[in-house]
């Protein structure tokens, strides 16, 4: 007998497949951008900005060696002094969301908090990708929009 102690929230938090009636609802795992650029604390901001821009992005997630999210560089932070280390320029400890959160709920959250983008992570804080408000569509087009 085995006990999967971390349970269903850990499984869903890792973006692994599930079965059931709720699996039909659009969720962050369906829209998250897994190709978001990443960088480390000690990198030079100017180098990161050049790499991010060349990749067609305006945001970058700061991660540890094992991809735990440490901070976020949005357009505003990326425009700071290029000689700064990422650690001093980044927005530390951003709010993160799990892959199983519904798109409708995330849209409401991002609107309420004025967020343009947020990291999506597993339950142990490892980066899955970045969700952007523009990728969530509009409430008018979402049949789940009125649900809590």
Partner 1 sequence: MAQEIDRERVRRLMEQGAQIVDVLPAREYGEEHLPGAINLPLRQIETEAASMLDPTRAIVVYCWDSA
Q: How far is CA 66 from CA 29, 48, 124, in A?
A: 20, 19, 11
Q: How far is the CB of 120 from partner 1 (least distance, A)?
A: 17
Per CB under 8 A, contacts with partner 1 among 14-33 are 14, 16-23
What span, in angstroms and rounded, lies between the C-alpha atoms of 89 and 87? 6
The answer to whether the beta carbons of residues 60 and 37 sit under 8 Å apart is yes
Q: How far is the CB of 41 from partner 1 (least distance, A)?
A: 27
Residue with smaller CB distance to partner 1, 100 or 120? 100
What span, in angstroms and rounded, lies between the C-alpha atoms of 97 and 115? 12
7 binds partner 1 (CB under 8 A): yes
The residues, ordered by sequence, that sit 6+ positions from 115 with a Cβ below 8 Å of its Cβ are 95, 109, 133
Record the tokens describing residue 30, joined without a space: 């369906």
11 binds partner 1 (CB under 8 A): yes
Per CB under 8 A, contacts with partner 1 among 49-108 are 100
Q: How far is the CB of 122 from partner 1 (least distance, A)?
A: 9
Residue with smaller CB distance to partner 1, 2 or 54? 2
The answer to whether the beta carbons of residues 136 and 28 sit under 8 Å apart is no
Q: How far is the CB of 7 from partner 1 (least distance, A)?
A: 4
Record the tokens describing residue 117, joined without a space: 């983008």
4 binds partner 1 (CB under 8 A): yes
DSSP 102: B
Residue with smaller CB distance to partner 1, 9 or 95? 9
2 binds partner 1 (CB under 8 A): yes
Contacts to partner 1 by CB under 8 A:
1-12, 14, 16-23, 100
């Amino acid at each position: 007998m085995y006990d999967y102690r971390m349970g269903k929230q850990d499984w869903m938090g890792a973006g692994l497949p599930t079965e059931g009636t709720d699996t039909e609802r659009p969720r962050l795992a369906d829209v998250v951008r897994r190709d978001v650029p990443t960088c480390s604390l000690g990198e030079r901001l100017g180098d990161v900005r050049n790499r991010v821009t060349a990749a067609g992005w305006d945001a970058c997630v700061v991660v540890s060696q094992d991809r735990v999210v440490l901070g976020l560089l949005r357009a505003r932070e990326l425009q700071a002094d290029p000689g700064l280390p990422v650690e001093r320029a980044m927005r530390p400890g951003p709010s993160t969301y799990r892959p199983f959160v519904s798109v409708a709920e995330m849209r409401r959250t991002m609107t309420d908090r004025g967020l343009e983008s947020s990291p999506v992570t597993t339950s142990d804080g490892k980066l899955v990708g970045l969700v952007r408000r523009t990728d969530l569509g509009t409430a008018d087009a979402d049949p789940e929009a009125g649900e809590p």
